[in-house]
Chains A and B, each alone.
Chain A
């Protein structure tokens, strides 16, 4: 009764590519940021799986640092969303077209 490591790694890959698809097909900047968080989480789970498989704690330490970077990234990213909403009154990436004019 156990789960093969490649099943767990494939699960991580599925979540990563769901997030990747979200970044490509959505136009709402908040949902794009959420998709990036999904991708970061999938990578974290891959780190933990390899940490368990290789019996090495470096993977879990990397997850700790990735979580810190993700927290910093979402703080700055949401600050940018607020700045964008101030300028454009919208959270739609299609509205960013100053260079077109």
Chain B
């Protein structure tokens, strides 16, 4: 794929380092801020892959909304005590988890490397997308034509999630009233 190796390996290195910091960090707040760096690196890689709308959504939704939720809950619960929960996990579980992950990862890398590249199945070449008005316009037109039904179902899902989140978080209040 015709993308700049310098930026790909730069963003990729930052993402892997920060992802390791997320799972090995002592305090939840440092994990959360490492996660923000991972999200920004991913946005950079999306932009390298010409997925400009996804890159913008990544920053708005993940680095914006979801991280605010995480930080807000950490602050609300006052849960930022450095936990040594990593050390409390049984050593055998840690070794088994690490080796299973590593083995499966190697199988995945081997499969990705050995599988021959499939021919393109559609005609969204960079030139065609450029001629049709850019990535955002092409994705938006698809969203409101071919993918209209899933798009509308998404709004039902979001409504259900809003009601569910309020019902779960306010459970005590509802119980007190009845």
**Chain A residues at the B interface, C-beta cutoff of 8 Å:** 1-11, 13-15, 17-22, 24-28, 30-31, 33-35, 37-38, 41, 44-45, 48-49, 51-57, 60-61, 63-65, 67-76, 78-83, 85-86, 91-92, 94
Q: Supply 21 A–B pairs (Cβ within 8 Å), ascending by A.
A: A1-B4, A3-B8, A13-B105, A13-B108, A13-B109, A14-B105, A18-B19, A25-B86, A25-B98, A27-B88, A38-B22, A38-B23, A48-B51, A49-B1, A54-B122, A55-B123, A57-B139, A63-B54, A65-B154, A81-B77, A83-B171
Known: A67-B57, A76-B165. 20 other contacts (CB 8 A): A10-B108, A18-B19, A18-B20, A19-B19, A21-B98, A30-B70, A34-B31, A48-B51, A54-B120, A57-B122, A64-B139, A65-B150, A71-B65, A78-B165, A81-B77, A82-B168, A83-B168, A85-B77, A91-B77, A91-B79
Q: Interface on chain B toward A: helix, strand, loop, or mixed SS?
A: helix
**Chain B residues at the A interface, C-beta cutoff of 8 Å:** 1-5, 8, 12, 15-16, 19-20, 22-23, 25, 28, 31-32, 35, 38-39, 42, 45-46, 49-51, 53-54, 57-58, 61-62, 65-66, 69-70, 73-74, 76-77, 79, 83, 85-86, 88-89, 93-94, 97-98, 101-102, 104-105, 108-109, 112-113, 115, 117-118, 120-125, 135, 138-139, 142-143, 147, 150, 154, 157-158, 160-162, 164-166, 168-169, 171-172
**Given that A34-B35, A72-B161, A79-B164 are contacting pairs, would A28 and B70 also be in contact in the complex, using a CB cutoff of 8 Å?**
no
**Given that A2-B2, A52-B50, A92-B83 are contacting pairs, would A75 and B69 also be in contact in the complex, using a CB cutoff of 8 Å?**
yes
In the bound assembly, the distance between CA atoms of A73 and B160 in angstroms comes to 11
- Inter-subunit contact A19/B23 (CB<8 Å): yes
In the bound assembly, the distance between CA atoms of A3 and B135 in angstroms comes to 21
Q: Which of B1, B23, B83, B122 contacts A25 (CB 8 A)?
A: B23
B89 contacts which chain A residues (CB < 8 A)? Answer: 25-27
- Inter-subunit contact B61/A67 (CB<8 Å): yes
Q: Which of B35, B62, B69, B121 contacts A54 (CB 8 A)?
A: B121
A27 contacts which chain B residues (CB < 8 A)? Answer: 83, 85-86, 88-89
